[in-house]
Amino acid sequence: MDRKISRQAGFTFVEVMLVVAIVGIVAAGIIRSNNHARAVASVNDDLHSLSLYFKKMRLDAFTQKTDIQINIAGNSITSVIDPGGAATAGRQLVLRNTVVPSATPFNITPRGNINPQGNIQINPLPVERPKYSCIVMSNIRVRLGTINGANCDAI
């Protein structure tokens, strides 16, 4: 009597579960690194937006020959044109991250000078440090910088 031995081709349950576990571990690593990259990009985007906002307000104060006051509260930045006179609302900027100014409000004179001088930091920063982590404002310049201890150093 001839017997035929039949073997079915396929994978065992243990092999399939092993592959599913490996794919899950790899996917978790990818998602985690993507979240870090998203947080860093969010900080960089907010700092660039805030820097451009201050530069635009300086230009507006200079060209319109008027005072502008910039108020910062959490992640909302608002401007008031001619705060000592008609006090009209200016531009508003809403960021994704909370910002912490060294002083508030910031006043921009008709000559484009910023008073008081100081910095604005993103709080809290992601674990992985972005290229820029603060904005330094001198009397006549607005520059991106990095936090060095308690100070913000312009780059």
| pLDDT for residue 152 | 86
From CA 112, how far away is CA 123, in angstroms rounded? 28
What value, to the nearest 5°, has the Cα angle with vertex 77 and ends 114 and 146? 65
Please state the pTM of the whole predicted model.
Answer: 0.78
Question: Between the CA of residue 147 and those of 37, 123, 152, what are the distances in Å?
Answer: 19, 11, 4
Give the strand order in the sheet containing 114-115: 88-94, 76-81, 68-73, 106-108, 114-115
Q: What is the mean pLDDT of residues 128-143?
A: 87
The domains located in the chain, with CATH, are: 13-154 (3.55.40.10)
pLDDT score of 1 more than 60: no
**Over residues 137-154, mean pLDDT:** 87
Please state which of the ranges 63-67, 120-124, 133-137 shows the lowest mean pLDDT: 120-124
Mean pLDDT of 42-65: 93
Closest CA to 43 of 102, 143, 129: 129
The vertex-93 CA angle with 50 and 62, nearest 5°, equals 65
Residues 84-106: what's their mean pLDDT?
A: 89
Which pLDDT score is estimated for 151? Answer: 83
Give the pLDDT band of residue 83 (cuts 50, 70, 90).
confident
149 CB-near residues (< 8 Å, 6+ apart): none
The predicted structure's pLDDT at residue 142: 92
Torsion over CA: 32, 38, 40, 43 (sign): negative
What percent of the chain has pLDDT above 90? 49
CB atoms within 10 A of CB 110: 14
The residues, any chain, with a CB within 8 Å of residue 78's CB and separated by 6 or more, are 70, 71, 89, 90, 91, 92, 93
- pLDDT tens for each residue of 106-124: 999 999 999 998 999 988 7
51 Cβ neighbours under 8 A, 6+ residues apart:
135, 142, 143, 144
Mean pLDDT, the chain, rounded, equals 88
State mean pLDDT over 130-144: 89
